[in-house]
Amino acid sequence: MFDYGYYLRKEKFPHIWCAGCGDGTVLKAMLRAIHNLQLSKDEVVVVSGIGCSSRTPGYVDFNTLHTTHGRALTFATGIKLSKPHLKVIVVSGDGDGTAIGGNHFIHAARRNIDITMILYNNYIYGMTGGQASPTTPLGAFASTAPYGSIESNFNVSRLAEAAGATFVARGTAYHAAQLDRLIEKGIRNKGFSLIEVIVQCPTAFGRRNRYRNTLDMLHWQKEHAVPVQVAAKMSPEEMNGKFTTGVLVDKSRPEFTDLYEQLIDRVRTPR
Amino acid sequence: MFVQGNHACVLGALRAGCRFFAGYPITPSSEIMEILASELPKIGGKFIQMEDEIAAMGAVIGASLTGLKAMTATSGPGFSLKQENIGYAAMAEIPCVVVNVQRGGPSTGLPTQSSQADVQQARWGTHGDHEIIVLAPSTIPEIYTTTIWAFNYAERFRTPVILLLDEIIGHMREMLKIPPDDEIELWDRPRPECEPGDYRPYQMVDTDIPPMADFGSGYRYHVTGLCHDETGFPTNDPQIIDRVMRRLTRKISRYRDQIYRSRESNLEGSEIVLFSYGSTARAAKQAMDLLRREKLNVGLFRPVTIWPFPEEQVRKIARASRHIIVCEANMGQIVREVERISCSQTNVHLVNSMNGEPVTPSQIMEQVKEVY
Ligand SMILES: Cc1ncc(C[n+]2csc(CCOP(=O)(O)OP(=O)(O)O)c2C)c(N)n1
Ligand code: SF4
């Protein structure tokens, strides 16, 4: 049995998440990934912004930093550039990462800085009580979209890909068993990695959008997730309303802090 | 050497041990960023141009957490954007230096012209009660040394320090003689000596400044902008919050004497005292010299530390003088503080300019003669 306790700050429990929330599932997958990679607790830094998902760092026994709303990647960039040997993981929500933090998101991907971002996509602002986010689907209900959202939503993974991320994967809380492998690959990738995880928020999203309970939401994840290999053989009509899961992008491109070290070597004042 | 103010700031920063800079281009501060882009890699330091000023401030805090002395520089609108994360640095007690080469505002204002209209924003720009240290040098050699002090204060007191320059002294050139090593003091942040297991990052210590561990050095701890207890974890306990908030204020206020820097000339026996700072103090100094040649008894008090405000000194001047004439390039920001502190014990006047043009010596002389 995997010993989660070794990586948890047990004295900080109980956690703040609602019963049925998907965030804990992602936290556990992240710990399994770190364990599988045999990383020492001292070399791991977990940085977050603000939101329910962003409370993750408080519960895990690493160097942890809970920053300002949307800005986790900027703090993480400072850490990674200063100490490139540290393994920097950013935890973010869909609002945190793609609304207020959207600019930092595309630029971190563009730089291909070696940071692994785990974005918990619950299609809503959970912490503040259910306002619409950039991933709220067209027509879905939110406290600030009481008649159904009239805005089109981001496809977060494709946004990361377009901006230059070298590793992009999508998973779900339902497919928890595969999640650690995706996160593991993301951490292993030398460059900017995004792991988008579809998680259920029964409190702020589920209730408003006619899901009876958490199980109902997990069932939705199961029914709508299509592994990339399968999706490749499906027509656009068949994929309508569904989303792909698995490794979506895995390529190689020079990494920012490596390039910086090379720059230092080039210009360094001879002693 | 003959250097520009912005360049002197860079030289001071490097001398202080700055090894990280993140910024976003904006006039009239860009030279600081450009020179550091070229100098930092040569000494193994880190430089990054971020996507905006918010990001630059975040990166600086992240870098400082790993133990590097870190700085950012900006102007006008960029200073406004940095405010949220400056508050984060105050709350989480992360040392950092923020240079603001002031230009005219509000908004895009006067990008290429000078002003001193950010002195109150430097004090209160971020939300919530907080202490902060703000320094405003007047000459190029003083920019060099004050930048070093900005780092020293940031490190020792674990706080953001704002270095206020302005377009005039940022772009002006003057002789700078680099002081020898024995004239330069360098301070570092307190670091823990305890076992990692015993480390409490926000412990109540005698000095009120808890030791700060570098991220990745074996002390694993949690940092948050939420109100937190001694272990660094969020709390809503009013008693704990009360204690922490009072300590955050006390850790600056009790060290006022170490933080105050000012220059005074001819205060003794002068019934009229000019009070001025930054580039405007240069005009005040010139006005004083000219007036004294005409045998008028005029003195000058020039604070370099603007915040915490030199209350004791101003109180003393108010008791001993008939008039204090505050000279500043804004609608009258520091004059309010002088009025508040002097409590009607003296007459307080304002000589100012807010149109992009500097306050002139003749403007000041006119006011002096009017009240003499
Ligand atoms: C600058 C700023 N604006 C707004 C907020 C309020 N706020 C806190 S969390 C949040 C949204 C969180 O939603 P998301 O990022 O999707 O995370 P979730 O709670 O759903 O995990 C907002 C708007 C804030 N803390 N700071
Ligand atoms: S509001 Fe939603 S996201 Fe937040 S803890 Fe509850 S279920 Fe989770």
Mean pLDDT confidence for A147-152: 98
**Residue B235: in which H helix or E strand, if any?**
none
CATH homologous superfamily for the domain A15-268: Thiamin diphosphate (ThDP)-binding fold, Pyr/PP domains (3.40.50.970)
Residues B270 and B164 in one domain: no
Sign of CA dihedral B349, B355, B361, B362: negative
Q: What does R_g of chain A's alpha carbons equal in angstroms?
A: 18
Distance between Cα B135 and ligand 2 center (Å): 44
Q: Give CA–CA dist A21/A203, Å, rounded.
A: 8
List per-block mean pLDDT (blocks of 10 residues) for chain B, which spans 372 residues: 97 98 98 98 98 98 98 98 98 98 96 97 98 98 98 98 98 97 97 97 98 98 98 97 97 97 96 98 98 97 98 97 98 98 95 97 98 92
Question: Taking CB atoms and an 8 Å limit, are A78 and B52 in contact across chains?
Answer: no
User: Among B20, B88, B221, whose Cβ lies nearest the Cβ of A82?
Assistant: B20
Residues B176 and B321 in one domain: no
- Name all residues whose Cβ lies below 6 A of ligand 1: A 50-53, 69, 93-96, 120, 122, 124-128, 133
User: Among B54, B218, B226, whose Cβ lies nearest the Cβ of A71?
Assistant: B54
Q: Going by CA atoms, what residue is nearest to atom 6 of ligand 1? A: A128
pLDDT at A271: 60
Select from B319, B317, B324 the least CA-distant residue to B349.
B324
pLDDT at A115: 99
Residues B287 and B179 in one domain: no
- Residue after which a domain boundary falls, among B183, B217, B239: B183
Q: How far is CA A63 from CA A104, A113, A254, in A?
A: 22, 19, 27
Q: N- to C-terminal Cα distance for chain B?
A: 41
- Name all residues whose Cβ lies below 6 A of ligand 2: A 17-18, 21, 23, 52, 122, 126-127, 201-204
- The C-alpha of B48 sits at a distance from chain A's nearest C-alpha, in angstroms, of 9
Q: Residue A12: list chain B partners with CB under 8 A.
A: 233
The label of the residue with tokens 């292993």 reads: A188
Mean pLDDT confidence for A124-144: 98
In a domain, B79, yes or no: yes
Residues of B within an 8 Å Cβ radius of A: 20, 22, 41-44, 46, 48, 50-52, 54-68, 70, 84-85, 88, 215-218, 220-226, 233-234
Measure the CA angle with vertex B140, ends B136 and B142; round to 5°: 50
User: Among A67, A76, A86, whose Cβ lies nearest the Cβ of B216?
Assistant: A86
In a domain, B169, yes or no: yes
Measure the CA angle with vertex A211, ends A210 and A215; round to 5°: 175
pLDDT at B82: 98
- Residue after which a domain boundary falls, among B183, B208, B243: B183
Give me the CATH number covering residue B25. Answer: 3.40.50.970
- Residue after which a domain boundary falls, among B122, B156, B183: B183
What digits encode the pLDDT tens for the residues A216-258?
A: 999 999 999 999 999 999 999 999 999 999 999 999 999 999 9
Residues B178 and B268 in one domain: no
Q: Residue B44: list chain A partners with CB under 8 A.
A: 264, 268
Residues B147 and B282 in one domain: no
pTM score > 0.90 for this model? Answer: yes
Q: A interface mutation test: which of B18, B20, B50, B51 has the most A CBs within 10 A?
A: B51
Q: Going by CA atoms, what residue is nearest to atom 5 of ligand 2? A: A17
Distance between Cα A92 and ligand 1 center (Å): 10
Can you tell me which atom of ligand 1 is nearest the CA of A53?
A: 21
Strand ranges (E), chain A: 44-48, 63-66, 87-93, 115-121, 167-172, 193-198, 225-227, 243-250
Burial class (CB in 10 A: 0-12, 13-18, 19+), A257: buried
The identity of residue B201, as a single letter, is: P
pLDDT at A1: 75
Domain layout of chain A by residue ranges: 15-268
In a domain, B8, yes or no: yes
Give me the CATH number covering residue B274. Answer: 3.40.50.920
Select from A267, A204, A78 the least CA-distant residue to B95.
A78
Angle, helix A156-163 to helix A102-111, in steps of 10 degrees: 40
Expressed as residue numbers, the domain containing B340 is 263-371
Residues B168 and B276 in one domain: no
Give the number of domains in chain B: 2
Q: Give CA–CA dist B251/B234, Å, rounded.
A: 21
User: Among A57, A75, A80, whose Cβ lies nearest the Cβ of B222?
Assistant: A57
